[in-house]
Amino acid sequence: MYAFVTGPLALIAFIVFFLGLGIQVFRFFRMTREKESLNVSFPKPRQKDVDALRPPEGVRKKVRLRGTVLEMEPFLAVMTTIFHLLLILTPILLLAHNLMIERAWGISPPSLAEGVTDVLTVGVMGFCIFFFLRRIFSARVRALSTAYDFLLLLIVFLPFLTGFIAYHQLFAYKTVILVHVLAGELMLICIPFTKLVHMIFFFLYRFFLPGEYSFVSGSRVWR
Ligand code: HEM
Ligand code: HEM
């Protein structure tokens, strides 16, 4: 059972993860098309007119963050940034995972000390609990939350909880590690087909589509 879950099933989970993300990128390009350039030419404005319209430096600084998450919810912005960094980096820099990669393929990716990743794991779990409580106690967030949001949060939380229990050998190790690998695989498989796909759509929307809170003016529009 362990050999199957860590062998073929792990391979299937990674294939579904990468192929699923690839298909989502393909779908995005199918659902959008290149923005047409308007074939009208305007006379180029004089530089001094452009400068006259520009708001003074102090005003520009004040309004730069207006309406962004950094102005409206700076605490959340910091929390979510740290959460995502730990969520992605911890499993990648985990010695136990990288030793398996080394055994399988002979390459040894960089790893952090086990004591450090153990603390980061607790950190990720803490953030998950924070987002869980926020969905319950913040009326605005509660109004938008459904069972689906809680389920996805649980799917993200489980690999960290079970990895932590396995590392500390708190229960029957063999069973826990099996549950851990299954939980990790479940999370990977869910990413392309649930709203966890924001992992890739976040960048596609913000760099390609104008008007979707994009960072740039964007080169594509919805079909
Ligand atoms: C898919 C295949 C996976 C396999 C085969 C696997 C295997 C393992 C193993 C063998 C350990 C070490 C337990 C020990 O020290 O005795 C571990 C720990 C851990 N795994 Fe995984 N894992 C997988 C996926 C994941 C995923 C997807 C995540 C999170 C996104 C994850 C997060 C963790 C964490 C955070 C720990 C360490 C917890 C701690 O040190 O406190 N794992 N995993
Ligand atoms: C790598 C690129 C990623 C970016 C840019 C990104 C961005 C975001 C943003 C902007 C939010 C909304 C703000 C918030 O509620 O915190 C969010 C929420 C969330 N992300 Fe990501 N994300 C990424 C990857 C991931 C991955 C790989 C996972 C897990 C597999 C994940 C899990 C979550 C969860 C669970 C929430 C919601 C927390 C809640 O319940 O409110 N994200 N992400």
In short, whether 188's Cβ falls inside 6 Å of ligand 1 is yes
Domains in the chain: boundaries:
1-31+174-223, 70-145
Is the pTM for the entire model greater than 0.85?
Answer: yes
Q: Which residues pair with 34 in a beta bridge?
A: 220
* Residue 173 CB coordination number (10 Å): 13
pLDDT at 194: 97
In short, whether 97's Cβ falls inside 6 Å of ligand 1 is yes
- At 190, give phi and psi (nearest 5°): -75, -30
Q: What is the atom index within ligand 2 of the atom nearest the CA of 203?
A: 5
In short, whether 6's Cβ falls inside 6 Å of ligand 1 is yes
Per-residue pLDDT of the chain (223 residues), as tens digits, is: 889 999 999 999 999 999 999 999 999 999 999 988 777 788 888 999 988 888 887 887 778 777 777 888 899 999 999 999 999 999 999 999 999 999 999 999 999 999 999 999 999 999 999 999 999 999 999 999 999 999 999 999 999 999 999 999 999 999 999 999 999 999 999 999 999 999 999 999 989 988 777 777 778 888 8
